[in-house]
Structure 1
Amino acid sequence: MNTALFSPFTIKGVTLKNRIVMSPMCMYSSHNEDGHVEDWHFTHYVSRAVGQVGLIMVEATAVQPQGRISAQDLGIWSDEHVAGFHELNKQINAHGAKTAIQLAHAGRKAMVDGDIYAPSALAFNEKMRTPVEMTQEDIQETVAAFVEGAKRSKAAGFDIIELHGAHGYLINEFLSPLTNRREDQYGGSAENRYRFLREIIDGVNAVWDGPLFVRVSANDYHPEGLTAEDYVTYAKWMKEQGVDLVDVSSGAVVPAAIDVFPGYQVAFAETIKAGANIDTGAVGLITSGLQAEEILRNNRADLIFVARELLRDPYWPKTAAKELGVEIEAPKQYDRAW
């Protein structure tokens, strides 16, 4: 049986052996608070490559120290971070998987010492700190930090870069009218709210010639917030700038009650894919091979991002293949049991 899930996917010269992506998930394991890769990261990521995941995406990695979600997050704000990522990529690639890094800035959701920054001085909720509204100089410094992060990602040997524009972090805060109340060229209209991301994409593309993804939160779950239809417009602009794929998640820009069920975000990926004619990734409670196959065969998305299920089962590709009635190549060390 030929399956969509285990068919290769080529994007800008990079070929994934299957459509399974390990979704970026924070590990909070840089215990020295210096942003460096530690032993845990090698165990965690390389084991999923052994498990035959096609693309391993490293967790949200901060381009500035004050852009960390937590003090234990990985970072790429320094040249000193490159060597650890280079070795991690080498080990992942050795097992046939490609690698990606998610470049991130937490914005007003950063939980680190010192000032935190956002497009507007609005706290996420009553328990979190009020951020400092970014000056235009702050904005340009942060754009430059994303570009430097992309340079370091290239030096470290990543195959793909993803920009984290979702889950209420800094890029998402600029995009949404719920969190962006600016009255300058970075606020107001959709075009102005997109300007920050536009400048990051342009800057990254000037130093990076590989595939570029952007993760978005395609629904704010708020009557005055953004919907997937709004993100069709953003995705069209992204495509014009050379973005190759939109990784479609949702929520977390403001506190909201979300009706969660298996595949609850797939329709958003489908809407953006059809409306913007751009490749998309689907994520969110995708736990079975049959479910993933349905998404791909019906052209609802192009890649399947698997998160918590890969925490539970590092060998989920084998589990999915068995469910679909197909055999996939085993790591030679495991052939006797595969």
Structure 2
Amino acid sequence: VVTHPTKYVWFGSDLPLDAFTFIFRRNEHGLFQVHAYPFDAHTCTFIVECPEDAWRRAGLESASEADSIAYCEALFQPELRGRRLMSNRSLWVNFATLRQESWHHGNVVLLGDAAHTAHFSIGSGTKLAMEDSIALVDALRRHRDLAAALNDYEMERQPVVERFQEAALESSSYFEHVSRYAQFDPRQFAFNLLTRSRRITYVNLTQRDPELVRTVDSWFAAVATGSPDGALRLSPPPMFTPLRIGELTLLNRVAVAAGPDLEAAASLGAGLVITEFVSVTEEGRITLETPVIDRTTQDRLRLSVERIHKAGSRVALQLGHAGRRGSMRPRSQGVDRPLRHGGWRLMAASPIAYTPHAAFPKEMTARDLGHVVKVFALAAKAASGSGFDALELNFAHGYLVAGFISPLTNRRTDEYGGSLENRMRFPLAVLEAVRTIWEGPLVVRVSASDWAPGGIDLDEAVAIAAQLKA
């Protein structure tokens, strides 16, 4: 069971509707939204949802049914147009997504919401329950053996339901974070809303409502090119509009992560080609095949960059230091498999091996920290001399700098460990050294989640990004 963070209450209304309707309204307590859809010719279902903090600020935590109705009727008075809300034991609760490993036990069978739930924002609960019922009847007709029939029923329905549940989770996540999009232009907001579950894509929506998509394309292209709204007769899809990053303009919004052959990646027509991981120093390589940028490689890199520019693309250099993920065999022989012979000394924030079979890195000293900051700056200078259009610093994926940011791999007790402020001290020093040298667009790649208890989560990732941007 997954419990969702927002609060919702299920009302009815004598407001007639002819389609699924979404309403968004903000007041002094926060942003509230309505999911409403026809119940019959004269009434509708009217679900009100809001973040928990807005619910508490509004005093709804202790409100009676009558109080909740009065609050929501006042809030959505412009949309209700004098119609009333109706309650049937309507209490504020959190939605729970339910998944069952098995839908039957003996001769007891579950279907509909007893077996699975899908968030109300995709409006499929009744449909799924009816389809479960039909599939169960069909399975019982096909098999004389009860156990075989019930297994067949589950095998047919579970994959279908799981796809709906994934779409519902995407949809519910959108509404749980809808305040992020509240400042969007109405056309952009509508497009984002309609494609929130990923069941409807740009192409699907073009087929369903080509006029809406043309309107969105025209608006987006005007914003991207600085033209007056509606001035362009024919507007490309947003993906193929120019993108400006500082002083750099990309022909389109397609970025390709390249392998060793940068020019092959550029031939695909991408607006931006991002190089593979390039180490700032020999001991910062992942494998023996990892390229290193220095004065000896500048001429070769400059020629590659010039060819990419002739193809119309721009190119970003991805710089990093492998740290404890270094001294590995080529990726063609498997990921993170240590070299048997010819390895090099590793260093990291703390002496923790990357895998059980990897070498233990030494804990970096003040001298090591200063050296790495210096080689990042030298690499940025080499990149500038090679003609790259942008830099991407890899502070992610368990490499050296990422090891300082994550509390799971940074066990230091000095000024570089402990609090987030301390853990960010070294990454910010690297960033500042590069900024001093590099004048073009600069991007930092971070891991938004460690996917492990006690590690970085999304809230901390936002704080990390804010420090890097400052």
Equivalent residue for 1:177, pick from 386, 407, 410: 407
Which residue is 1:197 aligned to? 427
1:225-272 CA deviation, whole Å, 9 max, x = no partner? Answer: 0012111001111111xxxxxxxxxxxxxxxxxxxxxxxxxxxxxxxx
Residue ranges of structure 2 left out of the alignment (5+ in a row) = 1-234, 329-342
The answer (yes or no) to whether the contact 2:327–2:344 under 8 Å persists in 1 is: no
Larger relative CO (CA 8 A, sep 6+): 1 or 2? 1
- Output the CA distance in 2 between the equivalents of 1:17 and 1:193: 38
The answer (yes or no) to whether the contact 2:377–2:433 under 8 Å persists in 1 is: yes
- Output the CA distance in 2 between the equivalents of 1:128 and 1:15: 42
- Output the CA distance in 1 between the equivalents of 2:265 and 2:428: 33
Read off the aligned partner of 2:248 and give its amino acid letter: V
- Output the CA distance in 2 between the equivalents of 1:162 and 1:114: 25
1:163 pairs with 2:397: no
- State the SS of the aligned residue for 1:79: coil
Read off the aligned partner of 1:88 and give its amino acid letter: S
Equivalent residue for 1:126, pick from 325, 346, 356: 356
Equivalent residue for 2:304, pick from 77, 81, 88: 88
Q: How does 1:314-333 map to 2 (within 5 A)?
A: none
- Output the CA distance in 1 between the equivalents of 2:257 and 2:248: 18
Report the alpha carbon displacement of residue 23 of structure 1 after superposing the two structures with TM: 2.3
- Output the CA distance in 2 between the equivalents of 1:110 and 1:149: 18
1:15 pairs with 2:249: yes
What number of residue pairs does the alignment pair up?
222
- Output the CA distance in 1 between the equivalents of 2:355 and 2:273: 33
1:54 pairs with 2:271: yes
Report the alpha carbon displacement of residue 2 of structure 1 after superposing the two structures with TM: 3.2
Equivalent residue for 2:320, pick from 104, 108, 122: 104
Question: Which has the larger Rg?
Answer: 2
Report the alpha carbon displacement of residue 124 of structure 1 after superposing the two structures with TM: 1.4
TM-score if structure 2 supplies the norm length?
A: 0.46
Which is helix-richer, 1 or 2?
Answer: 2
Which residue is 1:149 aligned to? 379
- Output the CA distance in 2 between the equivalents of 1:86 and 1:114: 29
Equivalent residue for 2:368, pick from 116, 123, 138: 138
- Output the CA distance in 2 between the equivalents of 1:81 and 1:50: 23
TM-score if structure 1 supplies the norm length?
A: 0.64
Residue ranges of structure 1 left out of the alignment (5+ in a row) = 28-40, 241-338
Equivalent residue for 2:457, pick from 203, 209, 227: 227
1:68 pairs with 2:285: yes
Read off the aligned partner of 1:115 and give its amino acid letter: R
- Output the CA distance in 1 between the equivalents of 2:325 and 2:403: 10
Runs of 4+ that moved beyond 6 A: none
Percent identity between matched residues is 36
